[in-house]
Amino acid sequence: MTVEYTDETDHGLFHTGSYSAALELVSAYIPDGELDLEERIEIGLSLADEQVERGHLALAMTTLTAALEDASTEAYWLAPGAVKTRVLTIRILDKMALLHFQLGQNGLAFLRARAAYDLSEDIDDPDAQAMSDRLDLIRSAAELSGREDFISEAAGLVSPAAPGQGYETVGARTPGRRRTFNAPASEEDPGGEPPFHEVPVYFATHRNRTGRSNPYDYFRGKRANLSLGRAVVTVPRDREAGDFDTASRRSWKSADKAKVITIDTLALLEGRDAFVSEIKADMASSSRKEALVFIHGYNTSFAGALMRAGQLSVDLNIDGATLLYSWPSKASFMSYVVDRNQVIDPFLEDLKDLIVDMALETGARRVHLLAHSMGAQFLLDTLAQAKLDDPRVEALDGPLADEVIFASPDVDAENFVGRVQRVSDLAGRITVYSSREDKALKASELLQGSPRAGRVPDVVSTAGVDAVDTTAAEQDLLGHSDYSKSAIDDVRALIWLPTRVSPAKRAAILRPDEGGSFWHYKGAAAQTLGLAFRSALRLARQFGVDEAFTKLEGGAGTVTPAGAGADSSEIRQQLEALRG
């Protein structure tokens, strides 16, 4: 028998009870005893309001935490009609931010309010768009926290562009052609060039435009139609390969281009034909006619992805064209679930066309596809779609790309193996870089409940790929970007050498696993042999392997500083190995 709920019913649990107890209480007074997710969240919000009203702030925080955990149920977030659930989630985050602020927990207040800000950008709902109050709280909490990174981040946040506001091209001049790349980035330039490279980076993005002229805030994390363009990124010459010191939103105008990576100019290109035509012109003026397509990962801003693409273009010495595909990541570590939900069919269709155009319409001789972290899911799904329904791909006699590189792929390991096996004929070679100490992927495994491909080299190697475990490489804070830093010499070997050189030929920096199915990056253990390998790579890149022997015989001066710290006999040994 169902008891009818009346105003006289004792509901003291709403003052001091838990979230779960409140749900049980309400369920007892409704006909079927079932509450859907939105009803449960509304109850949690009401309970928290009453607890705050009665001074139970810590209890209210516990209630909101439980309601937030409930609201984050993945099945609901993936549903097409889950807008109201997201609006309610924003309300929870706003209340938590205010509570943290009242309790003097300013850092936590900033993080909660920032997460609400990120979520609200994708929702056209007045309840989600209390932007002014939220921004005030973000800035106040950041200032009171005393943390420079929070203060800097808060200063760069803006309200959505006003309706009808136009968009302008960023930069005072038309992006210029890239300067010479014959010398490695760390060598002195004898030709009187400035102390930085100017690197054209083509970009395609499904991010929204903000209407601001600051190139670091020109695109944000809300979904939009595809924008195409061309930027110039400056990268210091006097730096070690892998160094990624960058200018920020606040310092971009005064940044020293000789010391940090910057975005110099950014210009939009109207239409796919104009975009392909520009790339084709750059490709025609290059010697090697190489194409690099880079897809970034989770928690990445457009500016950060653009500067990373510029860094890779320099450190990998790409002679042709570099293309960044930037999907609408929220660029916040609090927005993992939101970022995960951006892998949608319309984006994949556009990305497929971009990759196929790059490979077949630009005059590229060699094409390299590099996806990092969550970007690996985009690339895997795009390749599957290309094989399924693109007649240009079906008509190919050979692979679509020479090298396909998955760096720290944040993809379910079993799904990765199945997908890679189905698209393996689209790649000349597939390489996976993984690390068992990848903290970002460890966190992903907790959220997703399954091993990630970027942490299990023994599993992904069964798909017929070259799996390289970079755990022994010099780790950054998260151990999530080895491919672009400490292990970049191995990536160079994939891209720089005209013939496929197996991992066994890269023995100076790689060793086989005891089980024999994958490879370990030696890291610091390589020492002098690693230096000799780098020197041999540079010589092979500049002159070709055969002519490099002649240059080496000409004396140490011929290879300095590329060969600094390495014996010429060791360099010769590595050149022999790189013959393939």
Q: Sign of dihedral through CA atoms 16, 19, 23, 24?
A: negative
Say which CATH number the domain at 494 has: 3.40.50.1820
Per-residue tokens: 437 = 């100490």
Distance CA 521, CA 513 (A): 10
Residue 377 lies in a domain: yes
Element (H, E) at 75: helix 74-78
**Residue after which a domain boundary falls, among 105, 132, 155:** 155
Residues 6+ apart with CB under 8 A from 44: 19, 22, 63, 64, 66, 67, 70, 92
Residue 1 lies in a domain: no
Say which CATH number the domain at 75 has: 1.25.40
Distance CA 518, CA 13 (A): 57
Q: Are residues 238 and 288 located together in one domain of the fold?
A: yes
Q: Are residues 506 and 574 located together in one domain of the fold?
A: no
Residue 124 lies in a domain: yes
Task: Please tell me the predicted confidence (pLDDT) of residue 84.
Answer: 72
Residue 118 lies in a domain: yes
Q: Are residues 509 and 532 located together in one domain of the fold?
A: no
Q: Are residues 147 and 222 located together in one domain of the fold?
A: no
Distance CA 278, CA 263 (A): 19
pLDDT tens, N- to C-terminus, the chain (580 residues): 333 333 333 344 445 568 888 777 777 666 666 787 888 888 888 888 878 877 788 888 888 988 888 887 655 555 555 677 778 888 899 889 988 888 888 899 999 988 888 877 666 555 454 556 788 888 888 988 888 888 888 887 765 443 333 233 444 333 444 433 333 434 444 456 789 999 999 999 999 998 777 888 899 999 999 999 999 999 999 999 989 999 987 777 788 999 999 999 999 998 899 999 999 999 999 999 999 999 999 989 999 999 999 999 999 999 999 999 999 998 877 678 788 889 999 999 999 999 999 999 999 999 999 999 999 999 999 999 999 989 999 999 999 999 999 999 999 999 999 999 999 999 999 999 999 989 889 888 988 889 999 999 999 998 889 999 999 887 666 778 888 888 899 999 999 987 788 999 999 999 999 887 999 999 777 777 888 999 999 999 988 888 888 877 665 444 444 445 567 888 988 998 887 6
Provide the pairing of β-strand 510-512 with 519-521: antiparallel
| Beta strands per DSSP E along 426-554 | 427-434, 466-469, 510-512, 519-521
**Residue after which a domain boundary falls, among 155, 187, 213:** 155
Q: Are residues 356 and 444 located together in one domain of the fold?
A: yes
CB 40 within 8 A of CB 69: no
Taking each helix axis from N to C end, the angle separating 528-543 and 568-577, rounded to the nearest 10 degrees, works out to: 60
Residue 356 lies in a domain: yes
Q: Are residues 222 and 316 located together in one domain of the fold?
A: yes
Task: Please tell me the predicted confidence (pLDDT) of residue 124.
Answer: 57
Residue 183 lies in a domain: no
- 485 φ/ψ angles, rounded to the nearest 5 degrees: -130, -100
Residue 272 lies in a domain: yes
Q: Are residues 121 and 261 located together in one domain of the fold?
A: no
Structure confidence by residue, pLDDT tens digits, 147-196: 888 888 888 776 544 333 323 344 433 344 443 333 343 444 445 678 99
Q: Are residues 576 and 439 located together in one domain of the fold?
A: no
Number of structural domains in the chain: 3
Distance CA 518, CA 531 (A): 23
Which domain, by its residues, includes 359? 196-524
Q: Are residues 290 and 377 located together in one domain of the fold?
A: yes
Q: Are residues 440 and 576 located together in one domain of the fold?
A: no
Residue 151 lies in a domain: yes
Q: 64: burial class by Cβ within 10 Å (0-12, 13-18, 19+)? A: buried
3-state secondary structure of 519: strand
Q: 477: burial class by Cβ within 10 Å (0-12, 13-18, 19+)? A: exposed
**C-alpha angle with apex 266: 261 to 269, nearest 5 degrees?**
145
Q: Are residues 499 and 536 located together in one domain of the fold?
A: no
Q: Are residues 467 and 531 located together in one domain of the fold?
A: no
